Amino acid sequence: MQVSRALFDDVMVPNYAPPAVIPVKGQGSRIWDQEGREYIDFAGGIAVNCLGHCHPAPVRALQEQSEKVWHLANVMTNEPALRLAKKLTDATFAERVYFANSGTEANEAALKLARRWAFNEYGEHKDEIISFERSFHGRTFFAVSVGGQKAYSDGFGPKPGAIRHAVFNDLASLEAVISDKTCAVMMEPLQGEGGIIDADPAFIKGVRELCDKHNALLIFDEVQTGVGRTGHLYAYMDTGVTPDILTSAKALGGGFPIGAMLTTAEIASHLKPGTHGSTYGGNPLACAVAEATFDTVNDDALLAGVRTRSEQFKHGLEAINARYGIFKDIRGKGLLIGAELIDEHAGRAKEILQAALREGLLSLVAGANVVRFTPSLVIPEADIEEGLARFEAAIDSLFGTVAKAG
């Protein structure tokens, strides 16, 4: 069968618009397409490929588990799931883990748990969930409605009720809507899809205090920030604040689909048998790969390397900006980095992404005005330099004459 981009239009639902490039091989921080052209990967499968492509640790785990047991469903537990859960609880505040297949499913579980906890502890009136404008929590209808971007949830009929939104990094805005009817506040410690916006330390502490005041749970969505992405195992570990529930996915499986919800034993006790579940959640293959990935990332030297690479990345972007002057801000933590365009070039982030692809570089956007970078946590420093050179070539192809003249 001849596989080409045209086949996508013939057989796939048109909710995506991929470029003509079809990757067929990956190794480390580089991939190759059907024609053998090489690309440096600054996208990392949207913050998923935390160890790059075909890292030996998860590859070996997958191969070994594939010859043992693939699937059991939730009627039985399995060794990889239990080992991974033990390592997650040993390394975090959590005492209990629920496994799902994706970030949105982990968030769905977190939201349902918060509602059930509040119902059991306080009654049916305590059902309100608050999140923040520009937040993103996944694509299931509950999770996408909790997310603070109406463009993703409008047009699908009546939305789930008792959901309110406040302004991120504005404690007064949250204080105006939170009440004793609030069962949970869900937030990203660093907004990803919303534009790589870091939460102010005082804001995070204030959110925790307001949750405590109103007997509401604090849910941290660490689907994108977790498993080393910010230079810490989980971003909450650098905030001085501990959530009641945390969700993890993306990098957790290093490329194999898996999600997890982490919480305390007391809160977890409200999900009795039959209240929630997943056929594939805790799949032995997924958990074996995730365990190998987690073991590799949960290392002080690797996490320190993420912070070092972050500085290299930001300094490189700042040097490019010094020559072209097209970014108003370069921000982020670890290897979750955003470059926001100046007002003059607002809305052209996707155009930059496309130009970068032509130069042999994979990158991302976070909205219309922010170019996003989420490469492998172990990307070689030489690949960062080469990738930034290709990025500068893309910038020059679009803005060179104008920018230099300015």
Q: Are strands 336-341 and 217-221 parallel, antiparallel or unpaired?
A: unpaired
The one catalytic residue in 136, 142, 313, 373 is 136
Task: Name the residue among 113, 108, 86 with its Cα closest to residue 97.
Answer: 86
Does 392 carry a binding-site annotation?
Answer: no
Does 139 carry a binding-site annotation?
Answer: yes
What's the chain's length in residues? 406
Does 239 carry a binding-site annotation?
Answer: no
Q: What is the dihedral of CA 350, 352, 355, 359, to 10 degrees?
A: -130
User: Could you tell me the sign of the dihedral formed by the alpha carbons of 282, 285, 291, 297, in that order?
Assistant: negative
Does 378 carry a binding-site annotation?
Answer: no
Does 145 carry a binding-site annotation?
Answer: no
SS3 call for 332: strand
Does 48 carry a binding-site annotation?
Answer: no
Rounded to whole angstroms, the Cα distance separating 310 from 307 reads 5
b/e string for 340-360 if b means 16 or more Cβ within 10 A? bbeeebeebbeebbebbbebb
Which run of H or E residues covers position 184?
A: strand 182-187
The one catalytic residue in 41, 127, 221, 383 is 221
Task: Name the residue among 288, 297, 282 with its Cα closest to residue 105.
Answer: 282
Does 191 carry a binding-site annotation?
Answer: no
Rounded to whole angstroms, the Cα distance separating 57 from 284 reads 16
25 is catalytic: no
Does 192 carry a binding-site annotation?
Answer: no
The one catalytic residue in 127, 142, 250, 333 is 250
CB-based contact 213:179 (threshold 8 Å): no
Does 300 carry a binding-site annotation?
Answer: no
Q: Is 138 left (phi over 0), alpha (psi -120 to 50) or beta?
A: left
- DSSP states of 348-406: -HHHHHHHHHHTTEE-EESSSSEEEE---TT--HHHHHHHHHHHHHHHHHHHHHHHHH-
Residue with tokens 């629920």: 98
221 is catalytic: yes
Does 136 carry a binding-site annotation?
Answer: yes
136 is catalytic: yes
SS3 call for 123: coil
SS3 call for 118: helix
- Residues acting as catalytic residues: 136, 221, 250
Per the annotation, binding residues are 103-104, 136, 139, 221-224, 278-279
Per the annotation, binding residues for pyridoxal 5'-phosphate are 103-104, 136, 221-224, 279
Per the annotation, binding residues for N(2)-acetyl-L-ornithine are 139, 278
